[in-house]
Amino acid sequence: MIALAVALGAFVAATLRLFVWPDMPVAPARVDAIIELAGPGERDPTALALARAHRAGDLAQSTTLDDERAGQCLPQVPGVTTICFHPDPETTRGEARRIGELARQRNWKSVILVTSRDHVWRATLRVSRCFPGDIYVSPSPLPPLDWFRAIPYQWAATVKALVFERDC
């Protein structure tokens, strides 16, 4: 019984550390790109606020193939280049690969990822495997009821990233 309590306590502590209150270094005043990853939560306002504050010269948004083809992306921000991209596959791993490609093309050395708090740790892990520069994160709010779906999903996706998909 004690072992079960210890295991449960460790699981709860890891959940809180990885998905609820992940470590997020403070972003500098300016980076090369702001990148909005796809997913739940109000990410557009967070990405646009960073762009309007001129925190980067490029603002990239991961979007669907149909939206990319139709030019549906974040609104233009004066002085900031807006880039829409469709990851293949449509996963965080696909986004990380595309970010690595864009970074090489556009000479990015630092980025701010915009994603939900539950996704911060795994998104940083995935992107760091494809992009050698500095990675910061600006989390967007996740609706309270979404946490019930997010935690089990993030655990499964984290195991997949750590055990089965260890490369870019």
User: What ranges in 16-146 are assigned the alpha helix state H?
Assistant: 43-52, 65-70, 92-106, 120-128
Which residues on neighbouring strands pair with residue 112, listed in sequence order? 34, 136
pLDDT given at position 109: 99
Tally of domains in the chain: 1
pLDDT given at position 16: 78
Instruction: Residue 98: give its domain's CATH number.
Output: 3.40.50
How would you write the pLDDT of the chain (168 residues) with one tens digit per residue? 898 777 778 788 888 788 888 888 899 999 999 999 999 888 999 999 999 999 999 999 999 777 777 778 899 999 999 999 999 999 999 999 999 999 999 999 999 999 999 999 999 999 999 999 999 999 998 999 999 999 999 999 999 999 999 999
Which residues on neighbouring strands pair with residue 137, listed in sequence order? 113
Q: Which domain holds residue 30?
A: 2-164
Report the alpha-carbon distance of residue 94 to residue 91 in Å, rounded.
Answer: 5
H or E element at residue 157: helix 147-159
- This prediction's pTM: 0.92
pLDDT given at position 104: 98
